[in-house]
Copies of this chain bind each other. A is one copy, B any other.
Amino acid sequence: MTILGEQIIGHAVRKGTNGEIFGLDAATGEKLQPGFGGATLDDLEAACALADKAFDTYSETSLEARAVFLETIADNILAIGDELIERCMAESGLPRGRIEGERGRTMGQLKLFAGVLRDGGFLDARIDKALPDRKPLPRVDLRLRNVPVGPVAVFGASNFPLAFSVAGGDTASALAAGCPVIVKAHSAHPGTSELVGRAVQKAVKDCGLAEGVFSLLFDSGRDVGQGLVADRRIHAVGFTGSRGGGTALMKIAASRAEPIPVYAEMSSINPVLLFPAALAARGAAIGTAFVGSLTLGAGQFCTNPGLILAVDGEGLDAFVAAASTALANAAAAVMLTPGIHKSYCEGTARLAAHKSVKTVGQGLPAETLRGQAMLFSTTAEEFLAHPELQDEVFGSSSLVVRCPDEAALRRVVEALEGQLTIALHIDAGDHAAAAKLLPLLQRKAGRLLVNGFGTGVEVAHAMVHGGPFPATSDGRSTSVGSLAIARFLRPVCYQDLPAELLPDALKDENPLGLWRRHDGKLENA
């Protein structure tokens, strides 16, 4: 394949004429060729019209046909070969191992949803058969299944150019649900986006699906992305990015004539709670492990551990000392974009200069466009007095909050905003204290984890990558794992439909072999 700077509108490719975007070599900031034409509002209109037209047929494709489609996308991505890996490395500054791993993860996500489709449980099929003899009134025949919500807009993320972008989790779950997808490519990796977009486009053709099932647009400003969210034919939005960007899309979606759901993953500092027994037994070891998580991928994970909470004492001293030592040898890593690098430098400078904050550790000095890892410290009292210390600094920066006692630690947790993850480091002697805190922690985060760090988000059935605002715009869902399909579904009830008009999922003879609820009770076949 060759990168041509073209967007994808159904079966067609078309160079946008609304400005030009260039991918940048993350390590040098130099422009990568070719330029990518930004979409015009006509391009947006064409993509939305095609998606709307494709919906009625695509939403009723068989589960098996959709599963094969997702598997075909995965195969087509692999078939791009090393060109994808190299372009993605250049655009992101991430190393080969990470990008190859991310490609595997992206393919794994697509295949996971193929399995979800073949299982069919997401349809939540329910049958309450008619009771014509019921007194005082007969009961009608009621059957329920989930159907896709409609065409979905997906915004590519800067920090996962494959797994959270063109054919990433949002696209995979929306396509699995039966929703056509229009992707707004992230400007940080347009070449990667085009390559993956062509792989998806080819899969649409390979599988003989309606062309509007997938389009990919580049946006030289904000009009196309905002126009996408405002378009009446779009019925849900998937976004991963900044709090400012996410809340802007939420506002647009809420002010439409027909408001639609926005699933925006935004801002999380992923508190790590260190309990006394664990600190006493292995404070230093936890400190060293923490630095591994903090500096992974230049700290550019939504689940990066940006906040450490513990009761003051020798254990915490040991933790901080070990973390500082480990940090002192941490090389500064290339960041994703010059913009992200700039924000990181500003954020860490702000903390370094904050009157309530001490710098307690730092990584090796940074050359151009690289981020120096940083560790700061403050007290519970100061943290509570300065809400801005909760602001996410995207990158390998973290803040230790020293608490005088357990009660102060609890007050700090109570003051926290919503989070993707909260980690607890505990030994057996801490279980009672942890149990007391769990109900509160559960209010605050989508994932609670023990003796680890939130980085490393397994794509699985029991994963939740979500959480209360501002971690996400909608804490009732996840963007990673098989449950993500629920975001793009709505239930429909069919009352007294003749057998021949019923969808397969709800026919008496259960041709799909689904688990279904009969009068509320799960039954198979």
A496 contact set on B, CB distance < 8 A: 449-452
In the A-B complex, the 8 residue pairs with the closest CB atoms: A449-B495, A464-B493, A56-B439, A142-B462, A126-B462, A144-B462, A461-B520, A447-B493
B139 touches A460 (CB 8 A): yes
Instruction: Give residues in A with beta carbon < 8 Å to B.
Output: 55-56, 59-60, 115-116, 119, 121, 124, 126-128, 137, 139-140, 142-144, 147, 149-150, 250-251, 254, 258-259, 261, 417-418, 426, 428, 431, 434-435, 438-440, 442-443, 445-452, 456, 458, 460-464, 466, 468-470, 473-478, 482-483, 489-498, 500-501, 515, 517, 519-522
A287 and B414 CA atoms in complex are apart in Å by: 61
Shortest Cβ gap from A443 to chain B (Å): 7
| A116-B520, A466-B491, A493-B448 known; A142 vs B498 contact (CB < 8 Å) | no
Choice from B116, B144, B522 contacting A515 with Cβ under 8 Å: B522
A521 and B463 CA atoms in complex are apart in Å by: 15
A317 and B36 CA atoms in complex are apart in Å by: 60
A501 touches B434 (CB 8 A): yes
Chain B residue nearest to A447 (CB atoms) is B493
Shortest Cβ gap from A522 to chain B (Å): 6
| A520-B115, A520-B119 known; A431 vs B493 contact (CB < 8 Å) | no
15 pairs of residues in contact across A and B, judged by CB atoms under 8 Å: A55-B443, A56-B439, A60-B439, A128-B463, A142-B460, A142-B462, A250-B259, A258-B418, A428-B498, A446-B493, A448-B494, A450-B497, A466-B491, A476-B490, A477-B490
B261 touches A461 (CB 8 A): no
B517 touches A461 (CB 8 A): yes
A497 contact set on B, CB distance < 8 A: 448-450
Number of copies: 2
Shortest Cβ gap from A386 to chain B (Å): 17
Choice from B55, B115, B452, B519 contacting A140 with Cβ under 8 Å: B452
A140 contact set on B, CB distance < 8 A: 449, 452, 456, 458
Choice from B491, B515, B519, B520 contacting A478 with Cβ under 8 Å: B491
A144 contact set on B, CB distance < 8 A: 461-464, 483
A150 contact set on B, CB distance < 8 A: 443
Contacts A258-B469, A468-B490, A522-B522 known; 17 new A-B pairs at CB < 8 A: A139-B460, A142-B460, A142-B462, A144-B464, A149-B475, A149-B476, A250-B259, A261-B476, A442-B492, A446-B490, A450-B498, A452-B496, A461-B517, A461-B520, A466-B491, A475-B490, A476-B491
A119 and B149 CA atoms in complex are apart in Å by: 28
A452 touches B493 (CB 8 A): no
Shortest Cβ gap from A440 to chain B (Å): 7
A468 and B256 CA atoms in complex are apart in Å by: 13
A474 contact set on B, CB distance < 8 A: 261
Shortest Cβ gap from A444 to chain B (Å): 10
Choice from B59, B259, B495 contacting A473 with Cβ under 8 Å: B259
A143 and B431 CA atoms in complex are apart in Å by: 18
Shortest Cβ gap from A218 to chain B (Å): 29
A37 and B72 CA atoms in complex are apart in Å by: 65
Shortest Cβ gap from A74 to chain B (Å): 18
A515 and B261 CA atoms in complex are apart in Å by: 30
Shortest Cβ gap from A500 to chain B (Å): 6
B482 touches A442 (CB 8 A): no
| A144-B464, A250-B254, A254-B250 known; A439 vs B495 contact (CB < 8 Å) | no
A59 touches B439 (CB 8 A): yes
A452 contact set on B, CB distance < 8 A: 140, 495-496
A456 contact set on B, CB distance < 8 A: 137, 140
A445 contact set on B, CB distance < 8 A: 492
| A250-B259, A439-B60, A440-B56 known; A460 vs B492 contact (CB < 8 Å) | no
A149 and B520 CA atoms in complex are apart in Å by: 23
A463 touches B142 (CB 8 A): yes
A347 and B443 CA atoms in complex are apart in Å by: 46
A115 and B128 CA atoms in complex are apart in Å by: 15
Chain B residue nearest to A478 (CB atoms) is B491
A119 contact set on B, CB distance < 8 A: 520-521
Chain B residue nearest to A60 (CB atoms) is B439
Chain B residue nearest to A497 (CB atoms) is B450
A458 and B129 CA atoms in complex are apart in Å by: 12
A59 contact set on B, CB distance < 8 A: 439
